[in-house]
Amino acid sequence: MRKIFTPLTLYAILFTVFLYGPVLLMPLFSFNDNTFAVFPLKGFTLKHYASMAANGSMLGALWNSLVVATIVAVIATAVGLPTAIALTRYRLRGGGAIAAALMLPLVVPSIIFAVALLVILVRILNVELSLLTVGASHVFICLPFAIMVLMSRLEGFDKSLEEASRDLGEDGWGTFRRVTLPLAWPAVISSLLMCFIISFDEFVMAFFLSGTDPTLPVFLFGQLRFPNKLPGVLALGSLILLVSTILVVAAELLRRRGVQEKPA
């Protein structure tokens, strides 16, 4: 018989509890009939959800975040796809340097980019801070993720498929439309989801670069100073947790389907 309970199993369980325990406390307290997030639990209530729904400025911030994240996801993926095609399909002069430059936001702390962008936008370009500046900075940090996801898919399928399309009479655009895009589609969806999530919960850039209209993370940070606002935050946090879990699972399922479809 295989041993079911080993020290490694114990370690795995403890690890998971430490990782997800605090996160799972949030939905728990969001249903607790108490203003303070403390044990013991007092009773079940939905009033925090009601107060959340009544909090107009919080919903406004949520809306801002959703709009920014959606547009950022679309732009980053739309820019990332041709970039990924160029980097995987053509022998570019200095292709390695270009790829490295594009991947820079992955390794440079975002606070540095945030300060640098702030200086450039406000001091040099004299641009007014708004959701537009937040969105622009988010495209910048999402791009490497979009390119990586798309490149791994484009590298994964046989280049002779595109050559076959050319050989069968399709020009470059027709080949992109009929072969490259359909084959890259799972990665396009993953890229959209990933960029959406990155933008949606990005704090540092948004904190530095948003004007009077905050995104949700920036707004929530401001709310933490008021203890009586906390339960509403917990309720919203729980809902966001639910939606992100669904999105991540969907993205992962899509990615797996993409992997399975790969020609043998």
Give the residues lining the site for another protein (CB under 8 A). Answer: 157-158, 160-161, 163-171, 174, 178-179, 182-183, 261-264
Q: Shortest Cβ distance from residue 174 to another protein (Å)?
A: 7
Residue 258: closest CA among 213, 174, 212, 193: 193
Q: Shortest Cβ distance from residue 186 to another protein (Å)?
A: 10
Whichever of 162 and 202 has its CB closer to another protein, that residue is: 162
Q: Shortest Cβ distance from residue 22 to another protein (Å)?
A: 43
User: Phi/psi of residue 44, each to 5°?
Assistant: -85, 135
Residue 188: closest CA among 247, 157, 147, 155: 147
Q: Shortest Cβ distance from residue 159 to another protein (Å)?
A: 9
d(CA 209, CA 92): 34
Whichever of 75 and 183 has its CB closer to another protein, that residue is: 183
Q: Shortest Cβ distance from residue 40 to another protein (Å)?
A: 56
d(CA 218, CA 208): 9
d(CA 37, CA 34): 7
d(CA 210, CA 224): 18
Partners of residue 32 on adjacent β-strands = 44
- What SS3 state is found at 32? strand
Q: Shortest Cβ distance from residue 163 to another protein (Å)?
A: 5
Q: Shortest Cβ distance from residue 222 to another protein (Å)?
A: 48
Tokens of 53: 């729904």
- Backbone torsion region of residue 43, taken as left when φ is above 0, otherwise alpha when ψ lies between -120 and 50, otherwise beta: left
Asked if residue 154 lies in contact with residue 175, where contact means CB atoms within 8 angstroms, the answer is: no
d(CA 53, CA 58): 9
Whichever of 33 and 158 has its CB closer to another protein, that residue is: 158
Whichever of 161 and 243 has its CB closer to another protein, that residue is: 161
Whichever of 22 and 169 has its CB closer to another protein, that residue is: 169
Whichever of 161 and 253 has its CB closer to another protein, that residue is: 161
Torsion of CA 12, 13, 19, 20, to 10 degrees: 140
Whichever of 128 and 261 has its CB closer to another protein, that residue is: 261
